[in-house]
Amino acid sequence: MNLLSSKNSNISCLLDISWNRCPINSHHPIRIVCIIACIMHGIFWLQLVFCSSVRQTSMQWIYAYLITDIVLLFRFFLIYIVHTTSTDCASNIAWFLFICYFEAAVDNYLNLLEVYILLALNICRYIQIVYNRNVYQVHVKLLILTHFGIYVIPFLILSVQFIIGWAQLQKLHDELCSVTYVTIYIQIFNIIIAFILPIFLHITIICLSIRHVHLVSTLQQGRHHVSAREKYNRSLVIQFLVFYIIWLILWSPNIIAYQLSISGNVTCIVRLLNFIEILLDPIIIAALDVRFWKLWRNCWLSLKIKYTRHLHRQVRPVIVPHTIQRLVRQNETTL
Protein backbone atom coordinates (compact mmCIF):
# COMPACT_ATOMS: atom_id res chain seq x y z
CA MET A 1 0.00 0.00 0.00
CA ASN A 2 1.24 3.42 -0.94
CA LEU A 3 0.18 6.25 1.37
CA LEU A 4 1.10 9.73 0.21
CA SER A 5 0.63 12.72 2.49
CA SER A 6 0.20 16.31 1.47
CA LYS A 7 3.19 18.65 1.15
CA ASN A 8 1.91 20.59 4.12
CA SER A 9 4.38 19.98 6.95
CA ASN A 10 1.68 20.43 9.59
CA ILE A 11 0.00 17.24 8.53
CA SER A 12 1.28 14.33 10.58
CA CYS A 13 -1.57 11.85 10.20
CA LEU A 14 -1.22 9.40 7.34
CA LEU A 15 -4.35 7.48 8.40
CA ASP A 16 -6.73 10.41 8.11
CA ILE A 17 -10.12 9.31 6.76
CA SER A 18 -11.94 12.58 7.40
CA TRP A 19 -12.92 14.98 4.62
CA ASN A 20 -12.68 18.73 4.66
CA ARG A 21 -15.29 21.01 3.10
CA CYS A 22 -13.98 20.70 -0.49
CA PRO A 23 -14.54 16.94 -1.06
CA ILE A 24 -17.83 17.12 0.83
CA ASN A 25 -19.09 19.83 -1.51
CA SER A 26 -17.89 17.92 -4.57
CA HIS A 27 -19.89 14.86 -3.45
CA HIS A 28 -23.07 16.82 -2.76
CA PRO A 29 -24.59 16.23 -6.26
CA ILE A 30 -23.77 12.52 -6.00
CA ARG A 31 -25.51 12.37 -2.60
CA ILE A 32 -28.69 13.92 -4.03
CA VAL A 33 -28.68 11.50 -6.97
CA CYS A 34 -28.14 8.54 -4.62
CA ILE A 35 -31.06 9.57 -2.39
CA ILE A 36 -33.38 9.76 -5.40
CA ALA A 37 -31.96 6.43 -6.64
CA CYS A 38 -32.81 4.79 -3.30
CA ILE A 39 -36.42 5.97 -3.65
CA MET A 40 -36.66 4.66 -7.24
CA HIS A 41 -35.19 1.29 -6.31
CA GLY A 42 -37.47 1.06 -3.28
CA ILE A 43 -40.56 1.59 -5.45
CA PHE A 44 -39.30 -0.99 -7.93
CA TRP A 45 -38.67 -3.66 -5.29
CA LEU A 46 -42.08 -3.06 -3.72
CA GLN A 47 -43.58 -4.32 -6.97
CA LEU A 48 -41.56 -7.51 -6.61
CA VAL A 49 -42.72 -8.01 -3.02
CA PHE A 50 -46.44 -7.50 -3.56
CA CYS A 51 -46.90 -8.74 -7.15
CA SER A 52 -46.17 -12.37 -7.94
CA SER A 53 -46.49 -11.79 -11.70
CA VAL A 54 -43.01 -10.25 -11.85
CA ARG A 55 -41.35 -12.89 -9.67
CA GLN A 56 -40.12 -15.07 -12.52
CA THR A 57 -36.94 -17.07 -13.08
CA SER A 58 -36.49 -15.39 -16.47
CA MET A 59 -35.84 -12.10 -14.63
CA GLN A 60 -33.06 -13.43 -12.40
CA TRP A 61 -30.30 -11.58 -14.29
CA ILE A 62 -32.24 -8.30 -14.09
CA TYR A 63 -32.69 -8.68 -10.34
CA ALA A 64 -29.03 -9.68 -9.87
CA TYR A 65 -28.03 -6.55 -11.77
CA LEU A 66 -30.29 -4.33 -9.67
CA ILE A 67 -28.92 -5.87 -6.47
CA THR A 68 -25.43 -4.72 -7.49
CA ASP A 69 -26.93 -1.23 -7.91
CA ILE A 70 -28.20 -1.39 -4.34
CA VAL A 71 -24.79 -2.51 -3.05
CA LEU A 72 -23.16 0.40 -4.91
CA LEU A 73 -25.59 2.79 -3.23
CA PHE A 74 -24.84 1.23 0.15
CA ARG A 75 -21.12 1.58 -0.54
CA PHE A 76 -21.48 5.29 -1.29
CA PHE A 77 -23.51 6.08 1.83
CA LEU A 78 -21.19 4.08 4.08
CA ILE A 79 -18.08 5.80 2.70
CA TYR A 80 -19.78 9.22 2.81
CA ILE A 81 -20.89 8.80 6.43
CA VAL A 82 -17.48 7.54 7.55
CA HIS A 83 -15.58 10.36 5.85
CA THR A 84 -17.92 13.14 6.98
CA THR A 85 -18.34 12.01 10.59
CA SER A 86 -14.71 11.12 11.31
CA THR A 87 -12.89 13.97 13.01
CA ASP A 88 -9.74 12.36 14.37
CA CYS A 89 -6.90 10.41 12.85
CA ALA A 90 -7.77 6.72 12.54
CA SER A 91 -5.99 4.89 15.36
CA ASN A 92 -6.93 1.43 14.07
CA ILE A 93 -5.04 0.61 10.90
CA ALA A 94 -7.32 -2.38 10.19
CA TRP A 95 -10.37 -0.07 10.10
CA PHE A 96 -8.48 2.38 7.89
CA LEU A 97 -7.48 -0.37 5.44
CA PHE A 98 -11.01 -1.76 5.37
CA ILE A 99 -12.48 1.65 4.52
CA CYS A 100 -9.83 2.34 1.88
CA TYR A 101 -10.15 -1.03 0.18
CA PHE A 102 -13.94 -0.82 0.37
CA GLU A 103 -13.80 2.63 -1.21
CA ALA A 104 -11.20 1.92 -3.88
CA ALA A 105 -11.76 -1.70 -4.93
CA VAL A 106 -15.43 -2.57 -4.31
CA ASP A 107 -16.65 -0.04 -6.88
CA ASN A 108 -14.55 -1.69 -9.59
CA TYR A 109 -15.62 -5.18 -8.53
CA LEU A 110 -19.34 -4.33 -8.63
CA ASN A 111 -19.01 -2.63 -12.01
CA LEU A 112 -17.30 -5.77 -13.30
CA LEU A 113 -20.23 -7.80 -12.01
CA GLU A 114 -22.72 -5.56 -13.78
CA VAL A 115 -21.13 -5.79 -17.21
CA TYR A 116 -20.93 -9.59 -17.07
CA ILE A 117 -24.43 -9.97 -15.58
CA LEU A 118 -25.77 -7.98 -18.53
CA LEU A 119 -23.71 -10.15 -20.87
CA ALA A 120 -25.30 -13.28 -19.39
CA LEU A 121 -28.75 -11.71 -19.82
CA ASN A 122 -27.90 -10.85 -23.43
CA ILE A 123 -26.77 -14.42 -24.18
CA CYS A 124 -29.91 -15.91 -22.61
CA ARG A 125 -32.13 -13.63 -24.68
CA TYR A 126 -30.18 -14.50 -27.84
CA ILE A 127 -30.76 -18.22 -27.23
CA GLN A 128 -34.44 -17.51 -26.59
CA ILE A 129 -34.78 -15.48 -29.79
CA VAL A 130 -32.80 -17.72 -32.17
CA TYR A 131 -33.45 -21.21 -30.80
CA ASN A 132 -36.81 -20.61 -29.05
CA ARG A 133 -35.45 -22.30 -25.92
CA ASN A 134 -36.19 -21.35 -22.34
CA VAL A 135 -32.70 -21.57 -20.85
CA TYR A 136 -34.06 -20.84 -17.38
CA GLN A 137 -35.79 -24.24 -17.36
CA VAL A 138 -33.50 -26.30 -19.60
CA HIS A 139 -30.07 -25.25 -18.31
CA VAL A 140 -30.58 -24.67 -14.60
CA LYS A 141 -27.22 -26.13 -13.51
CA LEU A 142 -25.36 -24.13 -16.15
CA LEU A 143 -27.05 -20.95 -14.91
CA ILE A 144 -25.95 -21.70 -11.33
CA LEU A 145 -22.36 -22.22 -12.48
CA THR A 146 -22.55 -18.99 -14.49
CA HIS A 147 -23.73 -17.05 -11.45
CA PHE A 148 -20.92 -18.56 -9.39
CA GLY A 149 -18.29 -17.74 -12.02
CA ILE A 150 -19.46 -14.15 -12.49
CA TYR A 151 -19.26 -13.42 -8.76
CA VAL A 152 -16.04 -15.32 -7.95
CA ILE A 153 -13.70 -14.87 -10.94
CA PRO A 154 -13.57 -11.02 -10.88
CA PHE A 155 -12.99 -11.17 -7.11
CA LEU A 156 -10.05 -13.55 -7.59
CA ILE A 157 -8.54 -11.43 -10.38
CA LEU A 158 -8.66 -8.24 -8.29
CA SER A 159 -7.45 -9.98 -5.12
CA VAL A 160 -4.45 -11.59 -6.84
CA GLN A 161 -3.35 -8.20 -8.20
CA PHE A 162 -3.27 -6.74 -4.68
CA ILE A 163 -1.59 -9.81 -3.17
CA ILE A 164 1.18 -9.99 -5.77
CA GLY A 165 1.69 -6.22 -5.70
CA TRP A 166 0.56 -5.38 -9.23
CA ALA A 167 -2.09 -3.07 -7.73
CA GLN A 168 -1.42 -0.68 -4.85
CA LEU A 169 -3.69 1.35 -2.62
CA GLN A 170 -3.03 5.08 -2.60
CA LYS A 171 -4.40 7.70 -0.21
CA LEU A 172 -3.70 11.37 -0.73
CA HIS A 173 -4.57 13.72 2.11
CA ASP A 174 -8.19 14.93 1.94
CA GLU A 175 -8.80 12.82 -1.16
CA LEU A 176 -10.39 9.49 -1.97
CA CYS A 177 -8.58 6.21 -1.66
CA SER A 178 -7.60 5.00 -5.12
CA VAL A 179 -5.81 2.14 -6.83
CA THR A 180 -2.63 2.51 -8.87
CA TYR A 181 -0.93 -0.15 -11.00
CA VAL A 182 2.82 -0.80 -11.14
CA THR A 183 2.97 -1.31 -14.92
CA ILE A 184 0.92 -0.29 -17.92
CA TYR A 185 0.53 -3.94 -18.88
CA ILE A 186 -1.68 -4.56 -15.85
CA GLN A 187 -3.83 -1.58 -16.85
CA ILE A 188 -4.15 -2.92 -20.41
CA PHE A 189 -5.10 -6.34 -19.07
CA ASN A 190 -7.75 -4.83 -16.76
CA ILE A 191 -9.18 -2.66 -19.55
CA ILE A 192 -9.50 -5.74 -21.77
CA ILE A 193 -11.20 -7.79 -19.03
CA ALA A 194 -13.43 -5.01 -17.67
CA PHE A 195 -14.31 -3.13 -20.86
CA ILE A 196 -13.09 -4.24 -24.28
CA LEU A 197 -13.92 -7.97 -24.07
CA PRO A 198 -17.43 -7.74 -22.55
CA ILE A 199 -18.40 -4.76 -24.75
CA PHE A 200 -17.20 -6.62 -27.87
CA LEU A 201 -19.23 -9.69 -26.87
CA HIS A 202 -22.27 -7.51 -26.14
CA ILE A 203 -22.14 -5.81 -29.54
CA THR A 204 -21.59 -9.14 -31.32
CA ILE A 205 -24.58 -10.82 -29.68
CA ILE A 206 -26.84 -7.78 -30.21
CA CYS A 207 -25.87 -7.69 -33.91
CA LEU A 208 -26.57 -11.42 -34.27
CA SER A 209 -29.97 -10.98 -32.61
CA ILE A 210 -30.85 -8.05 -34.90
CA ARG A 211 -29.70 -10.05 -37.92
CA HIS A 212 -31.88 -13.02 -36.95
CA VAL A 213 -34.96 -10.85 -36.39
CA HIS A 214 -34.37 -9.09 -39.71
CA LEU A 215 -33.98 -12.38 -41.60
CA VAL A 216 -37.19 -13.78 -40.10
CA SER A 217 -39.14 -10.61 -40.94
CA THR A 218 -37.74 -10.68 -44.51
CA LEU A 219 -38.83 -14.29 -45.02
CA GLN A 220 -42.32 -13.49 -43.75
CA GLN A 221 -42.88 -10.34 -45.82
CA GLY A 222 -45.37 -12.12 -48.04
CA ARG A 223 -47.50 -13.13 -45.08
CA HIS A 224 -50.12 -10.70 -43.86
CA HIS A 225 -50.06 -12.07 -40.31
CA VAL A 226 -47.06 -11.47 -38.05
CA SER A 227 -46.67 -14.17 -35.41
CA ALA A 228 -46.73 -13.32 -31.71
CA ARG A 229 -43.28 -14.87 -31.28
CA GLU A 230 -41.80 -12.58 -33.95
CA LYS A 231 -43.32 -9.51 -32.28
CA TYR A 232 -42.01 -10.62 -28.90
CA ASN A 233 -38.48 -11.28 -30.23
CA ARG A 234 -38.42 -7.89 -31.92
CA SER A 235 -39.50 -6.20 -28.69
CA LEU A 236 -36.76 -8.04 -26.75
CA VAL A 237 -34.09 -6.78 -29.15
CA ILE A 238 -35.39 -3.20 -29.07
CA GLN A 239 -35.69 -3.21 -25.26
CA PHE A 240 -32.16 -4.42 -24.68
CA LEU A 241 -30.69 -2.15 -27.37
CA VAL A 242 -32.26 0.98 -25.83
CA PHE A 243 -31.22 0.00 -22.32
CA TYR A 244 -27.70 -0.96 -23.41
CA ILE A 245 -27.04 2.34 -25.22
CA ILE A 246 -28.08 4.40 -22.17
CA TRP A 247 -26.15 2.12 -19.83
CA LEU A 248 -22.97 2.21 -21.94
CA ILE A 249 -22.96 6.02 -22.19
CA LEU A 250 -23.27 6.49 -18.42
CA TRP A 251 -21.28 3.46 -17.22
CA SER A 252 -18.20 3.38 -19.45
CA PRO A 253 -16.54 6.69 -18.35
CA ASN A 254 -16.33 5.50 -14.73
CA ILE A 255 -14.79 2.11 -15.55
CA ILE A 256 -12.25 3.66 -17.96
CA ALA A 257 -11.27 6.37 -15.46
CA TYR A 258 -10.81 3.73 -12.76
CA GLN A 259 -8.58 1.49 -14.87
CA LEU A 260 -6.44 4.46 -15.94
CA SER A 261 -6.14 5.65 -12.30
CA ILE A 262 -7.54 9.08 -13.13
CA SER A 263 -8.23 11.20 -10.03
CA GLY A 264 -9.42 14.70 -9.17
CA ASN A 265 -12.56 16.37 -10.47
CA VAL A 266 -12.81 13.87 -13.32
CA THR A 267 -13.46 11.10 -10.78
CA CYS A 268 -16.42 12.97 -9.28
CA ILE A 269 -17.90 13.63 -12.73
CA VAL A 270 -17.68 10.03 -13.98
CA ARG A 271 -19.00 8.69 -10.67
CA LEU A 272 -21.91 11.10 -10.87
CA LEU A 273 -22.71 9.69 -14.32
CA ASN A 274 -22.45 6.19 -12.90
CA PHE A 275 -24.93 6.97 -10.12
CA ILE A 276 -27.29 8.66 -12.59
CA GLU A 277 -27.25 5.36 -14.47
CA ILE A 278 -28.07 3.55 -11.22
CA LEU A 279 -30.97 5.96 -10.67
CA LEU A 280 -32.32 5.32 -14.18
CA ASP A 281 -31.91 1.52 -14.11
CA PRO A 282 -35.24 0.60 -12.41
CA ILE A 283 -37.12 3.23 -14.45
CA ILE A 284 -35.77 2.01 -17.80
CA ILE A 285 -36.15 -1.67 -16.96
CA ALA A 286 -39.74 -1.23 -15.77
CA ALA A 287 -40.64 1.02 -18.72
CA LEU A 288 -39.26 -1.36 -21.35
CA ASP A 289 -40.49 -4.65 -19.88
CA VAL A 290 -44.02 -5.62 -20.94
CA ARG A 291 -44.55 -7.51 -17.66
CA PHE A 292 -44.35 -4.29 -15.69
CA TRP A 293 -46.62 -2.54 -18.19
CA LYS A 294 -49.25 -5.23 -17.59
CA LEU A 295 -48.76 -4.91 -13.84
CA TRP A 296 -49.20 -1.12 -13.95
CA ARG A 297 -52.24 -1.45 -16.19
CA ASN A 298 -53.90 -3.96 -13.85
CA CYS A 299 -53.15 -1.76 -10.84
CA TRP A 300 -54.57 1.27 -12.64
CA LEU A 301 -57.74 -0.62 -13.63
CA SER A 302 -58.27 -1.94 -10.11
CA LEU A 303 -57.83 1.55 -8.63
CA LYS A 304 -60.20 2.97 -11.23
CA ILE A 305 -62.85 0.35 -10.42
CA LYS A 306 -62.55 0.99 -6.69
CA TYR A 307 -62.83 4.74 -7.24
CA THR A 308 -65.94 4.44 -9.41
CA ARG A 309 -67.55 2.11 -6.88
CA HIS A 310 -66.82 4.62 -4.14
CA LEU A 311 -68.45 7.38 -6.18
CA HIS A 312 -71.55 5.27 -6.85
CA ARG A 313 -71.94 4.60 -3.16
CA GLN A 314 -71.87 8.32 -2.39
CA VAL A 315 -74.36 9.44 -5.08
CA ARG A 316 -76.53 6.33 -5.20
CA PRO A 317 -80.22 7.36 -5.64
CA VAL A 318 -82.89 6.19 -3.25
CA ILE A 319 -84.67 3.26 -4.93
CA VAL A 320 -88.08 2.13 -3.70
CA PRO A 321 -88.16 -1.64 -3.31
CA HIS A 322 -90.39 -3.62 -5.60
CA THR A 323 -92.64 -4.76 -2.75
CA ILE A 324 -93.30 -1.18 -1.61
CA GLN A 325 -94.19 -0.16 -5.16
CA ARG A 326 -96.71 -3.00 -5.37
CA LEU A 327 -98.35 -1.95 -2.09
CA VAL A 328 -98.67 1.64 -3.31
CA ARG A 329 -100.38 0.45 -6.50
CA GLN A 330 -102.82 -1.72 -4.48
CA ASN A 331 -103.77 1.25 -2.29
CA GLU A 332 -104.39 3.41 -5.34
CA THR A 333 -106.76 0.82 -6.83
CA THR A 334 -108.71 0.45 -3.60
CA LEU A 335 -109.24 4.19 -3.41
Select from 84, 67, 86 the least CA-distant residue to 30: 84
pLDDT at 241: 87
**Any alpha helices (H) in the chain, and if so which ranges?**
21-26, 28-50, 60-85, 93-104, 106-131, 135-138, 140-164, 184-191, 197-219, 228-259, 265-288, 290-314, 322-334
CATH class of the domain at 2-330: mainly alpha
pLDDT at 118: 93
Spell out the domain ranges in the chain.
2-330
pLDDT at 8: 40
pLDDT at 224: 58
pLDDT at 291: 75
pLDDT at 335: 47
pTM of the predicted model as reported, rounded to 2 decimal places: 0.82
pLDDT at 72: 95
Residue 110 CB partners (closer than 8 Å, separation 6+) = 68, 71, 72, 75
Q: 137-180 pLDDT, tens per residue?
A: 889 999 999 999 999 999 999 999 999 999 988 876 556 788 88
pLDDT at 121: 92
pLDDT at 223: 63
pLDDT at 15: 66
180 and 258 in contact (C-beta within 8 Å)? no
In what side-by-side order are the strands of the sheet with 167-172? 2-4, 167-172, 177-181
pLDDT at 12: 47
pLDDT < 70 stretches in the chain: 1-16, 87-91, 172-175, 220-228, 314-335
